[in-house]
């Protein structure tokens, strides 16, 4: 039997050996960005067990908690002020694939291979507010900006929207394939999108339940989707491509220069500035307006599986069993990306991140 880390290492090496296909520009070597970072090492919960790899991270937008989930079946909560773990919640019974705090910071939602969607109240984290069990594994969740709806996708064709307070099913949509790793709501909460193994993105109007877009955006599995505030849809995945999908006019969609690595996550940092991460162990920062790379962050030693952005910092989780909290160098970004707008110019970066 292939050991877990040997398998992950082999998969990463295989991805790095891929070459750029004809017809797509390859990314030029980028400069190493000098962002400061702090490392968080995941915790071994049982003697003889490996430290858990990280599959999901979420930073509370209005608070001090960082949620970390992975293959150890735990939901670990790290306090950014005290710089220590404060809870290790054990209600999942298999890999926890995804975690996300609600935008109003009142709740944390987690989902995983045990088919469970769990809501944890941030003021009473030890007892779940609800647990919903689906027929299929949950790979990704998304929450509307008003914190009222939560969407789940996984190993089925079903995109299910739940009431975020009760867990009750509100609506259901049919995805293009039965292996979906990505789901996202638009900034105005009117649209929901999903993508998976077949490389096709479907977008629906939530109120009418009508399918309004279907895009064959990628040649292989889509692993991540995110709507921009402007209404574009970012997508990336196993074909090493990052696309800025212009839903209003798909012919104007942009493909960024590709790296020889599978892409696991994409995260908006500021208007026209995004981060991507994947199997080359790096985080790449892009200017989507120019279609060029600003630079890279290179302290992880395994696939960077997940990203999140809140409180003016970027959080990354990796198969190397660590999480890193990065503080962007705004002067560096401003020099490299003309018209750069800081995510929150008035916000103060928490002291523990400096």
**Between vectors from CA 243 to CA 238 and to CA 244, what angle results, nearest 5°?**
155
Q: How far is CA 290 from the centre of its chain?
A: 23
- Model confidence at 27, pLDDT cuts 50, 70, 90, reads low
Q: Does domain 4-353 sit in CATH 3.30.70.20?
A: no
Q: pLDDT of 296-310, one tens digit each? A: 999 999 999 999 999
Helix (H) or strand (E) holding 274: strand 273-278
pLDDT in tens, 208-230: 999 999 999 999 999 999 999 88
Nearest to 241 by CA among 232, 253, 230: 253
- 178 burial (CB, 10 Å; 0-12 / 13-18 / 19+) is middle
Q: How confident is the model at residue 354 (pLDDT cuts 50, 70, 90)?
A: low
Supply the mean pLDDT for the chain.
89
User: Residue 115 pLDDT more than 60?
Assistant: yes
| Secondary structure of 137-185 in HEC code, one letter for each residue | CEEEEEECCCCCEEEEEECCCEEEEEECCCCCEEEEEECCCCCEEEEEE
Q: What is the pLDDT of residue 337?
A: 83
> How many Cα atoms within 13 Å fall on the side-chain side of residue 351?
2
pLDDT, tens only, 167-213 = 999 999 999 999 999 999 999 999 999 999 999 999 999 999 999 99
Q: According to the model, what pLDDT value does residue 333 have?
A: 87
Q: Which two tokens stand for residue 287?
A: 């200017």
Could you count the other beta carbons within 10 Å of the beta carbon of residue 252? 11
Q: How large is the average pLDDT for residues 147-164?
A: 97
For residue 65, how far is the Cα from the chain centroid? 17
Give this prediction's pTM: 0.88
β-partners of residue 211 are 204
């Amino acid at each position: 039997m292939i050991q877990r880390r040997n398998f992950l290492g082999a998969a990463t090496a295989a991805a790095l050996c891929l070459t750029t296909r004809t017809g797509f520009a390859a990314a030029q070597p980028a400069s190493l960005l000098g962002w400061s970072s702090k490392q968080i090492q995941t915790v071994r919960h049982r003697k003889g067990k490996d430290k858990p790899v990280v599959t999901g991270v979420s930073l509370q937008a209005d608070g001090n908690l960082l949620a970390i989930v992975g293959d150890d079946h735990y939901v670990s909560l790290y306090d950014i002020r005290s710089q220590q773990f404060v809870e290790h919640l054990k209600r999942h019974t298999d890999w926890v694939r995804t975690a996300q705090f609600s935008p109003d910071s009142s709740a944390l939602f987690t989902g995983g291979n045990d088919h469970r969607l769990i809501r944890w109240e941030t003021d009473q984290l030890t007892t779940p507010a609800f647990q919903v069990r689906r027929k299929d594994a949950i790979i990704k969740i998304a929450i509307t900006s008003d914190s009222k709806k939560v969407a789940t996708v996984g190993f089925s064709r079903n995109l299910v929207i739940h009431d975020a307070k009760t867990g009750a099913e509100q609506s259901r949509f049919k995805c293009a394939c039965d292996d979906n790793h990505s789901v996202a709501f638009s900034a105005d909460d009117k649209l929901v999108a999903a993508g998976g193994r077949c490389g096709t993105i479907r977008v629906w109007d939530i109120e009418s339940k009508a399918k309004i877009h279907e895009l064959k955006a990628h040649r292989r599995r889509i692993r991540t989707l995110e709507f921009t505030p402007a209404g574009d849809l970012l997508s990336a995945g196993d074909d090493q491509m990052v696309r800025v999908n212009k839903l209003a006019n798909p012919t104007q969609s942009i493909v960024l220069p590709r790296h020889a690595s599978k892409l696991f996550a994409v995260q908006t940092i500021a208007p026209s500035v995004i981060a991507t991460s994947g199997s080359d162990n790096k985080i790449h920062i892009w200017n989507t307006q120019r279609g060029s790379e600003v630079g890279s962050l290179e302290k992880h030693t395994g696939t960077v599986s997940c990203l999140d952005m809140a409180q003016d910092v970027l959080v990354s989780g990796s198969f190397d069993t660590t999480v890193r909290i990065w503080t962007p160098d705004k002067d560096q970004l401003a020099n490299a990306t003309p018209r750069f707008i800081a995510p929150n110019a008035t916000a103060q970066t928490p002291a523990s991140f400096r």
